[in-house]
Amino acid sequence: MLDDIVDNSQLIDGFGRQVNYLRLSVTDRCDLRCTYCMSEKMTFLPKTELLSFEELERLCSVFISRGVKHLRISGGEPLTRKDILSLFQKMKTHLESGALQELTLTTNATQLEKYAEELFECGVRRINVSLDTLDQENFQKITRRDKLSAVLRGIEIALRAGLKIKINTVALRHKNISELDKMVLWAHSQGMDMSLIEAMPMGAIDEDRVDQYIPLFEVKEMLTKTMTFEDCTYRTSGPSRYVTVKETGGRLGFISPLSHNFCESCNRVRITCTGQLYTCLGNDGMIDLRSPLREDPSNKKLICAIDQALLKKPRGHDFDISRRGQAPSVNRHMSVTGG
């Protein structure tokens, strides 16, 4: 497929930022209903709208040929898409050729026990697992489903399979902040890094995000009552800023899109399961890649559409959760473009 690709120049946006990171959402569906992410009653896309695995592979290959080094498969819940491993198997060839440096996954881990070993065989080495509480009742309240034990089993099996795990936790003012110190100790005791994330105003949900959002500088202040933070230069290709927790020796990251915007160093774009390219998480602007992909097997139209989209990549987002009853800053849910 790479033979068809005609352009090997790097992806540079209108502000001179180089894009080397692609997040691909392979489904908008999920087996959980986290209250900050979705409403209980969601209308998902008809499965017939989705790009096939062959089309997803073609898209990824074009981006890799244009300098994408990090590919994260996300969703919705990516492990709920039937035959998802076939995409990982295809992407393994780009890891083997050295064109791709890293193939990763963001998952809620409900099905991880089934897939962990094969993911490792496909070249996946690091994954992010989203988990907001270790308490079964609270898990049910936050996710509206009773699947904590499957998640914990999945984590255990994935660690045994050799996958490095980072736990991603959304800090929720009234739901989990009193547990966060325990979660940090638990994650570090299992050899896992952890990142805290601010709730973002994306997509309509059943609660008011004013009740959910807490700026991470407040959380940091709370945590420093029981643990000591030391400066840490560790960075991944993501937006987390890390400290080392002196008491555990483990790393704790902070992803603060609202209280500390990181757009100036943004290196990523996102594609939905129907082939819409979003160049900014906090903006509704997108370009359709499905039509050029289907119309032109040579990939020329696709490459042209990607270049046009890149030039229009916004300088940054404008997230705001300051007023009760406020409409979300962007209409789509995080599950459409993946986190």
Contact footprint for ligand SAM (CB under 6 A): 30, 36-37, 74-75, 77, 106-108, 130, 168, 170, 197, 199-200, 202, 334-335, 338-339
The phi and psi torsions of 331 (rounded to 5 degrees) equal -75, -35
Residue 250 touches which member of ligand SAM, ligand SF4, none, C-beta under 5-8 Å by kind: none
Least distance (Å) between residue 80 CB and ligand SAM:
9
Q: Which is closer to ligand SAM, CB of 37 or CB of 309?
A: 37
User: What's the token pair of residue 139?
Assistant: 């898990």
Shortest reach from residue 3's CB to ligand SF4, in Å:
36
Nearer to ligand SF4, 202 or 303 (CB): 202
Tokens representing 265 are 């160093």
Q: Which of 308, 309, 329 is nearest to 319 (CA)?
A: 329
Which run of H or of E encompasses 104?
strand 102-107
Residue 200, binding choice from ligand SF4, ligand SAM, none, Cβ under 5 to 8 Å by partner class: ligand SAM
What amino acid occupies position 264? E
Query: For residue 248, what are the β-bridge partners?
Result: none
**Distance, CA of 77 to CA of 145 (rounded, Å):** 14
Shortest distance (Å) from residue 257 CB to ligand SAM: 8
Give the Cα separation of 10 and 216 in Å (integer): 34
Helix (H, G, I), strand (E, B) or coil at 201: coil
- Integer Cα distance of 278 and 261 in angstroms: 18
In this complex, which beta carbon is closest to ligand SAM, that of residue 93 or of residue 261? 261
Choose among ligand SAM, ligand SF4, none what residue 199 binds, the Cβ cut-off being 5 to 8 Å by kind: ligand SAM
E runs forming strands in 184-257: 193-198, 229-231, 241-245, 251-255
Residue 107 CB, shortest distance to ligand SF4, in Å, is: 8
* HSE of 131, CA atoms in CB hemisphere, 13 A: 32
Instruction: Select from ligand SAM, ligand SF4, none the partner in contact with residue 253, using the beta carbon and a kind-dependent cut-off of 5 to 8 Å.
Output: none
The option from ligand SAM, ligand SF4, none interacting with 33 (CB < 5 to 8 A, set by class) reads ligand SF4
Point out which residues bind ligand SF4 (CB under 6 A).
Answer: 30, 32-34, 37-38, 75-77, 108, 130, 335
Contact partner at residue 244 from ligand SAM, ligand SF4, none, CB < 5 to 8 Å by partner kind: none
